[in-house]
């Protein structure tokens, strides 16, 4: 019985020691931080001075230009595409969606359009022929409800 009691007390002390908090350490002084984070004490022939340190994220990229390309479908016509290999360029495209969009690609500010324009819609043809408010509103891209409200 005595051995069991000693064993139980020992286990309790080990468990208590494992869950106890360690005393907090005082924060480092500015001098201690400077000693840890400061420049190396010895500069060999391969080390860079601290004001000339070269970080990987800021390293100049040689031979790696940002490229972009864009292709737009032009319906029955062949598609158009463009690409730009310089740095900082942008590319965008819009597929042909007649009668609202002819289709084009733009690379670094230069736009190339699909070979042929969209044929005029039935609404635009009616607007040109009669000057009808509803047809002209629809030709300009207005929805049926909006045009009915506008034209009364």
Segment 17-35, tens digit of pLDDT: 555 555 566 676 777 666 6
- Structure confidence at residue 38 (pLDDT): 59
User: What is the rounded CA–CA span in Å between residue 88 and residue 83?
Assistant: 13
User: What is the rounded CA–CA span in Å between residue 146 and residue 99?
Assistant: 18
- Structure confidence at residue 90 (pLDDT): 87
User: What is the rounded CA–CA span in Å between residue 64 and residue 51?
Assistant: 26
User: What is the rounded CA–CA span in Å between residue 142 and residue 124?
Assistant: 12
**Dihedral of CA 141/145/146/148: which sign?**
positive
Quick one: average pLDDT of 11-17? Answer: 62
Quick one: average pLDDT of 57-78? Answer: 70
43: pLDDT strictly greater than 80: no
């Amino acid at each position: 019985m005595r051995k069991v009691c000693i064993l139980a007390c020992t286990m309790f002390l080990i468990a208590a020691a494992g869950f106890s908090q360690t005393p907090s350490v005082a924060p480092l002084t500015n001098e201690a931080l400077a000693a840890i984070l400061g420049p190396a004490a010895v500069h060999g022939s391969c080390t860079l001075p601290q004001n000339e340190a070269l970080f990987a994220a800021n390293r100049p990229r040689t031979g790696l230009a940002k490229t972009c390309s864009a292709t737009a479908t032009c319906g029955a016509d062949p598609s158009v595409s463009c690409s730009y290999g310089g740095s900082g360029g942008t590319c965008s495209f819009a597929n042909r969606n007649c009668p609202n969009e002819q289709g084009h690609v733009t690379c670094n500010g230069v736009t190339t359009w699909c070979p042929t324009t969209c044929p005029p819609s039935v609404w635009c043809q009616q607007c040109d022929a009669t000057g009808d408010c509803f047809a002209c509103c629809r030709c300009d891209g207005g929805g049926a409800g909006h045009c009915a409200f506008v034209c009364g």
